[in-house]
Amino acid sequence: MAQIVGCVNTSHVPAIGKALALGLQDDPYWSPFFSGFPPIHEWLAEVKPDVAVVFYNDHGLNFFLDKMPTFAIGAAQQYVNGDEGFGAPDTPPFAGDEALSWHLINHLVDHDFDMTICQDMMIDHAFALPLKLLFPREGKWACPVTTVPISINTILYPFPSARRCAALGKTVGDAIRSWDEDKRVLVVGTGGLSHQLEGERAGHLNREFDTRFMDSLVMEDPNWVTQYSSEDIIEEVGTAGLELIMWVAARNALQGPVREVNRNYHIPISNTAAGTQAFAPA
């Protein structure tokens, strides 16, 4: 049977990609963010995942306002990092894990999650960047694990609740554990933490809420934040801070006690509060 080796949640600010490309990890501006990763790299080298299931939010590249699935899952052979307006990224396509995709789809639909099934799906910075951060490679970068993308709508109202995302994540975790393959699966959540990129509250951050949220994810019951509606979460952490629901989904794939492998939190990266937090089963 497959096993979940752990969960990693991290911010996905596009400027991180440029910093990576320029090798600025030790630069004084960037090092407070990148310094959160070496302990996670050491841990990943020990637990050796074969597959990453990635909860992320598409930012208008694959899905736009005309068609916006609340929950979508990839079932493709590969995923291309499309051009988000900065020029086509030179990242090679990410290999899909079609067998796991279809196992998840069958399990989720069977458990009342009406997923949009995407046999063709472009992925954006929210999927690609965290994998680049987690799996550094010498030379031209290529993703060393197969992947399954799961996208959660955070750009067109109404949004799924944190409570519903927790249930989705738990069901994805149950599905992974029931997969009849001897594979080691890492679950990733990307986005956040508090930030708002536009409007009157552009630049809004909330260190206190972010800290409380990260603290809550270490608990055996990680669902403190599910007491809040999406509107309340946006009030606290800004419109784009709602991306923290990816962290909720990913963390709920793990059940039972967890060990915090590492945590990092830094303000500002771009105009966001950037966080990284990794968990292993205790």
Q: Which residues bind ligand DHB (CB under 6 A)?
A: 12-14, 59, 191, 195, 197, 240, 243, 270, 272
Between 12 and 103, whose beta carbon lies closer to ligand DHB? 12
CB of 12 to ligand DHB, least distance (A): 5
Q: Which of 12, 59, 103, 125 is catalytic?
A: 125
CB of 272 to ligand DHB, least distance (A): 5
Query: Identity (one letter) of the amino acid at 190?
Result: T
Tokens for 86, please give them: 């900065």
Between 81 and 101, whose beta carbon lies closer to ligand DHB? 81
Q: Where are the alpha helices (DSSP H) in the chain?
A: 14-21, 31-34, 38-47, 98-110, 125-134, 162-177, 207-218, 230-237, 244-253
Rg value, the chain, Cα: 17
CB of 132 to ligand DHB, least distance (A): 15
CB of 78 to ligand DHB, least distance (A): 23
Q: Where are the alpha helices (DSSP H) in 116-206?
A: 125-134, 162-177
Does 41 qualify as catalytic in the annotation?
no
Between 13 and 176, whose beta carbon lies closer to ligand DHB? 13
Between 183 and 195, whose beta carbon lies closer to ligand DHB? 195
How far is 47 from 53, CA to CA, in rounded Å?
Answer: 15
Q: What share of the chain is helix, strand, coil (3-state, %, to 5)?
A: 35, 25, 40
Asked if 100 and 179 count as a contact pair (C-beta separation under 8 A), the reply is: yes
CB of 58 to ligand DHB, least distance (A): 10
Instruction: Give the 3-state secondary structure of residue 73.
Output: strand
Tokens for 215, please give them: 């603290």
Between 22 and 219, whose beta carbon lies closer to ligand DHB? 22
Q: Which of 12, 59, 195, 266 is catalytic?
A: 195
List the catalytic residues.
Answer: 125, 195
